[in-house]
A and B are shown apart, each in its own frame.
Chain A
Amino acid sequence: MSEVVATTRTILVVGGGISGMTAALEAAEAGADVLLLEKGASLGGWVSQLSRGHPTLCPPARTLEDELRRLGAGRLRVLTRAEVVRIDGQPGDYTATVRLAPPAPREVGNADRSGDPDASPDADPDAVPNPDTGERKLRVKAGAVVWATGWRPYDAAKIEPYGYGRIPDVVSSLDFARLADPLGPTGGRLLRPSDGREARRVAFVLCAGSRDKNHLRHCSRVCCAAALEQAAHVTGHLGDEADVTLYYVDIRVTGSLEDLYRKVRSDPRVKFVRSKVAQITRDAHTGSPVLHGVATEGGQRYARVHDLVVLAVGMEPGVPGDALPLRLVTHAGGFVAPDPANGAIFAAGCAAEPLDVSRCVQHATVAALRALQVVRRVGGVEG
């Protein structure tokens, strides 16, 4: 049978994105035993896919790098390809069931650097993998859990009038991030999917699937800033050639991001149209996407052709409410709520609400503190 790893004084962190890494590091540096489990092959979550970031317009990966450097510190163990599928128990005494994907997880951190995870007695999973899938099961004990499973983009194909999936040059903001990435498939050139031509007239459609009773009811909070940052990328990349239009309902940026907004707003190459786009069609001759709607400031009806249309898609929870490994109190959108009924399971970062990286870091630090308070109490009782 599977062996029990860790003790009830351990803090289990589920999800190795920026939030989970932060929570794990903060807790470990404060002296707790921490086990960080990530279902993917590497740490970093979505941040590792975003080549440039707001508010500083420097690579978010830089933050990641700092965090990775700190991983050596404290009593922190990390397992990748390890997905938490079930949690039982109560505050101070949880048991998590973990599915280990083949090939065997590689453990990093200070516990074991030998390269062979099975050599580490602490992380000894089921000796016999499932013959069909090669998966193994592991059980983990923990006094408190930081739930940092992050977000996933809303499926743009569900926004039927926008033609994502039908019109090739309608892409999502995540697709755009790949196009704009110097290490991405196009080497950072904005080549539109239909014919590989360089896109010059680029449109950003904000609130694509957010603040909408037919899709996500909440404001996803990061997409305005992300679209502004991507618009700035286009002008920076194309220079005077750039012809960018932002279609928005409201621009929602706060704090220092306001500077980004002012910068983009004052750029003559970027037009702002206050309008939720009603529909996107494909031009019969050129195949280019055409945006239709009415500008609510001025009242003009438009049917504007663009080379490339970027849908600023919203955020939904990475693990939907009905797929959580135990019953947790969630908000209407499925994000895990800070509710006493959730015991010592503390959501951090985008698992709790749509947040940008800097706010994820703050939020995750708070979650780590809450978890520390629980395991310290457990520690006190156990002597």
Chain B
Amino acid sequence: MGEGRKDYRGDFLAEVEARVEEGEWVKMCMQCGVCSGSCPLGPDWEHPPHEIFQWIRANRRAEVLGSPSVWMCTSCHACVVRCPRGVPVAHVMHGLAHYAARLGLAPPGQPTRRLAERFWENMTRTGRVNEPRLALSLLFANGPGEGLRTALRMKDAGLDLVRAGRLSPLAALAGDGVEDPAGLRAVLEKARAIELAKTAALED
């Protein structure tokens, strides 16, 4: 297949190196599989990290950027400490996920992606994560019926957290934040603009 040769030219690797945070590490991977073997969530990934790295080199752009797998990483860092080549696997996964989202290629409705988005919205509002509100928004993400059922099922855990002082129901109403939330949002907006400008520059 003539196309096959083109597929292995590695254009996508160059793209990842230029645009994905920590993407320049991908070429260091020696395909030993220790990251995938060490990942506590490994059995639940459709395509574990070493496979994603190999796919990048095999130019399988659509599959990588559209994969729910790059959203599975919980940053436990088991892979990062064990990787014999020092690849920051977790960071590359987040970089890929972020890049896919920026390009609008990330799988919609993927649960960890939804968590990430809600976390971001919640946190950027005041500059502090409002945990009860985040928990509530996740509970009712699939409609009120399921939300109530889950809330009942989880109530003991919730009460334990309140008793241990780890969760304050009042915070859902008040909550704290940084001194200048508007300033924070301006900073984030600026960072976003810089990031987009960088991508646009590479596009030329």
Distance, CA A91 to CA B42, complexed state (A): 59
B48, B85, B86: the one within 8 Å of A294 (CB): B48
A211, A274, A275, A299: the one within 8 Å of B84 (CB): A211
B75 contacts the other chain (Cβ, under 8 Å)? no
For B49, the closest partner residue in chain A by CB is A294
Q: How large is the interface on B (under 10, 10 to 19, 20 to 34, 35 or more residues)?
A: 10 to 19
When the two chains form their complex, are residues A296 and B42 in contact, meaning their CB atoms are under 8 A apart? no
When the two chains form their complex, are residues B37 and A278 in contact, meaning their CB atoms are under 8 A apart? yes
Min CB–CB distance A280 → chain B (angstroms): 11
When the two chains form their complex, are residues B86 and A296 in contact, meaning their CB atoms are under 8 A apart? no
B binding-site residues for A, Cβ under 8 Å: 30-34, 36-38, 42-43, 48, 50-51, 81-86
Which residues does chain A contribute within 8 Å of B50, judged by CB atoms? Answer: 294, 296
When the two chains form their complex, are residues B84 and A278 in contact, meaning their CB atoms are under 8 A apart? no
Q: How large is the interface on A (under 10, 10 to 19, 20 to 34, 35 or more residues)?
A: 20 to 34
Which residues does chain A contribute within 8 Å of B85, judged by CB atoms? Answer: 213
Distance, CA A296 to CA B31, complexed state (A): 7
When the two chains form their complex, are residues B37 and A301 in contact, meaning their CB atoms are under 8 A apart? yes
Contact with B along A173-216 (1 / 0, CB 8 A): 00000000000000000000000000000000001000111100
Which residues does chain B contribute within 8 Å of A299, judged by CB atoms? Answer: 48, 51
Distance, CA A341 to CA B89, complexed state (A): 41
Chain B CB within 10 A, most for which of A211, A274, A293, A294: A294
A276, A277, A295, A301: the one within 8 Å of B42 (CB): A301
When the two chains form their complex, are residues A279 and B32 in contact, meaning their CB atoms are under 8 A apart? no
For B84, the closest partner residue in chain A by CB is A212
Distance, CA A207 to CA B43, complexed state (A): 25
Which residues does chain B contribute within 8 Å of A279, judged by CB atoms? Answer: 37-38
Known: A161-B82, A213-B84. A278 touches B30 (CB 8 A): no
Given contacts A207-B84, A213-B84, A296-B36, 15 further A-B contacts (CB under 8 A): A211-B84, A213-B83, A213-B85, A214-B81, A275-B37, A276-B33, A276-B37, A277-B37, A278-B34, A278-B36, A279-B37, A294-B42, A295-B33, A296-B32, A296-B33
Known: A278-B38, A279-B38, A299-B51. A293 touches B33 (CB 8 A): yes
Min CB–CB distance B42 → chain A (angstroms): 7
Chain A CB within 10 A, most for which of B34, B37, B51: B37
When the two chains form their complex, are residues B84 and A294 in contact, meaning their CB atoms are under 8 A apart? no
Contacting B at CB under 8 A, from A261-283, are 274-279
Distance, CA A80 to CA B7, complexed state (A): 63
Distance, CA A293 to CA B50, complexed state (A): 12
For A214, the closest partner residue in chain B by CB is B84
Distance, CA A263 to CA B179, complexed state (A): 72
For B47, the closest partner residue in chain A by CB is A299
Which residues does chain B contribute within 8 Å of A376, judged by CB atoms? Answer: none
Which residues does chain B contribute within 8 Å of A294, judged by CB atoms? Answer: 33, 36-37, 42, 48, 50
Which residues does chain A contribute within 8 Å of B84, judged by CB atoms? Answer: 207, 211-214, 276
Which residues does chain A contribute within 8 Å of B38, judged by CB atoms? Answer: 161, 278-279
For A278, the closest partner residue in chain B by CB is B37
A249 contacts the other chain (Cβ, under 8 Å)? yes
- Give 6 nearest A-B pairs by CB, closest first: A278-B37, A293-B37, A276-B32, A212-B84, A294-B36, A296-B33
A106 contacts the other chain (Cβ, under 8 Å)? no
When the two chains form their complex, are residues A301 and B30 in contact, meaning their CB atoms are under 8 A apart? no
When the two chains form their complex, are residues B86 and A213 in contact, meaning their CB atoms are under 8 A apart? yes
When the two chains form their complex, are residues B30 and A249 in contact, meaning their CB atoms are under 8 A apart? yes
Distance, CA A211 to CA B82, complexed state (A): 12
Chain A CB within 10 A, most for which of B32, B36, B51, B86: B32
Contacting B at CB under 8 A, from A288-308, are 292-296, 299, 301
Which residues does chain B contribute within 8 Å of A295, judged by CB atoms? Answer: 33
Min CB–CB distance A161 → chain B (angstroms): 7
